[in-house]
Homo-oligomer: A and B are copies of this chain.
Amino acid sequence: MERQAVPGPFDAQEAAVVLERARACVDPELRRAVDSLPGSMRRIALYHFGWEQADGTPGAGNAGKAVRPALVLSAARALGGRHTEAVRAAAAVELIHNFTLLHDDVMDRDTTRRHRPTAWTVFGDADAILAGDALQALALRMLAEDPHPASSAAAVRLAGCVVELCAGQHTDTAMEKLGPGEITLDECLATAEAKTGALIGSACAIGGLYAGAADEDVEALDAFGREAGLAFRLIDDVIGIWGDPGRTGEPAGADLAARKKSLPVVAALTSGTPAADELAELYAAPFREGELERTVLAVERAGGRDWAQVQAADRMSRAMHELSRAVPDPEAAGGLLALTEFVTRRGN
């Protein structure tokens, strides 16, 4: 009988400890990298990471939850490696994540990130683009400087992931301009995998590489991360419409008001039901006060919510299957499981 790692009753406490430990390991490496930048680029990066305010005074240090570096370190440990050896690689993954955030915010004209004004709103488009470029270079330089035998393979993987992230962002931007009837659900899933799954998969795979894992285990870790990342995106999209009972302050329905073509919406639009036509009609016009409830109901009646929840559960089960291939011992997989539970329950 095949042993299966099942998501245990990991409480948020455990994930919090794993994340806290990763932050403590990776932050000094990240700070060193950012401090090596020339003044103009450093200023923007320090602001983006929350280490400085726009005027150069110390910031609150809300640099995000460091899920991806925690995955690198946990995957390395799960495969029997020493997580201390993978700290540079974990920092490199976090730099790549932040480079894409800086650029995506410029392209998407997003004005808020981690409860603060985005870098482009403070420093302008050009500087936000340049700081992103510099962070990508820092990340890949960090791996090129790393004497660990896995560093080249990790750089190949991470750079390949950047290409996938770019293609995903392109499709995402392109889809937002299409009409409700012009998007297929498969395209939408592929885009979510490229935008969210790819880097989470790479983080896990790179951890495996640093532990000297066999090729098939590295691939299984990548697949685990991709599936878990997609589950996270699906759940995040559900929260974007129906809200998160465990979370306060997030307005439910914001994605619908913004006419976002999130996964449950596209599932609803492509369902072939009468509610799909109603939703398409609503989406064809700008959002009007008072029609939120009707829109939410249309997505539900068209099966968007059920589809997303079944898909998320399916992706999680595939993720667990992949993880059990790479790490048959559920105890060794503990850190990865806790993180997966954490991100899919709460968003990252």
Say whether A91 faces chain B, with CB atoms less than 8 Å apart.
no
Q: Are B162 and A126 in contact (CB under 8 A)?
A: no
Say whether A164 faces chain B, with CB atoms less than 8 Å apart.
yes
Out of B99, B131, B144, B151, which one reaches A159, CB within 8 Å? B144
Complex: A215 Cα to B323 Cα, angstroms: 46
- Which A residues, 138 to 185, have Cβ-Cβ distances below 8 Å to chain B? 138, 140-141, 143-145, 151-153, 155-156, 159-160, 162-164, 166-167, 169-171, 173-174
What is the distance, in angstroms, from A153's C-beta to the closest C-beta of chain B? 8
Q: Are A159 and B141 in contact (CB under 8 A)?
A: yes
Out of B107, B126, B140, B174, which one reaches A170, CB within 8 Å? B126
Complex: A156 Cα to B136 Cα, angstroms: 12
Chain B, residue nearest A140 (CB): B140
- Which A residues, 182 to 232, have Cβ-Cβ distances below 8 Å to chain B? none
B-side contacts of A140, CB under 8 Å: 137, 140, 144, 155, 159
Q: Tell me how many residues of A have a C-beta within 8 Å of chain B.
A: 43
Q: Are B125 and A138 in contact (CB under 8 A)?
A: no
B-side contacts of A103, CB under 8 Å: 129-130, 133
Q: Are A127 and B37 in contact (CB under 8 A)?
A: no
B-side contacts of A136, CB under 8 Å: 133, 136-137, 162
Q: Are B159 and A137 in contact (CB under 8 A)?
A: yes
Q: Are A138 and B159 in contact (CB under 8 A)?
A: yes
B-side contacts of A125, CB under 8 Å: 107
**Known: A133-B103, A143-B144, A144-B155. Is A163-B126 also a contact (CB below 8 A)?**
no
B-side contacts of A144, CB under 8 Å: 140, 143-144, 152-153, 155-156, 159
**Known: A141-B156, A144-B156, A159-B144. Is A170-B127 also a contact (CB below 8 A)?**
yes
Say whether A327 faces chain B, with CB atoms less than 8 Å apart.
no
Say whether A9 faces chain B, with CB atoms less than 8 Å apart.
no
Complex: A38 Cα to B167 Cα, angstroms: 7
Say whether A248 faces chain B, with CB atoms less than 8 Å apart.
no
- Which A residues, 87 to 105, have Cβ-Cβ distances below 8 Å to chain B? 99, 103
B-side contacts of A145, CB under 8 Å: 152, 156
**Known: A40-B171, A144-B152, A152-B144. Is A133-B162 also a contact (CB below 8 A)?**
yes
B-side contacts of A138, CB under 8 Å: 159, 163
Complex: A37 Cα to B155 Cα, angstroms: 17
Chain B, residue nearest A162 (CB): B137
Say whether A241 faces chain B, with CB atoms less than 8 Å apart.
no
B-side contacts of A163, CB under 8 Å: 37-38, 41, 134, 137-138, 141
Q: Which 3 A-B pairs have the closest CB atoms?
A: A141-B159, A144-B155, A137-B162
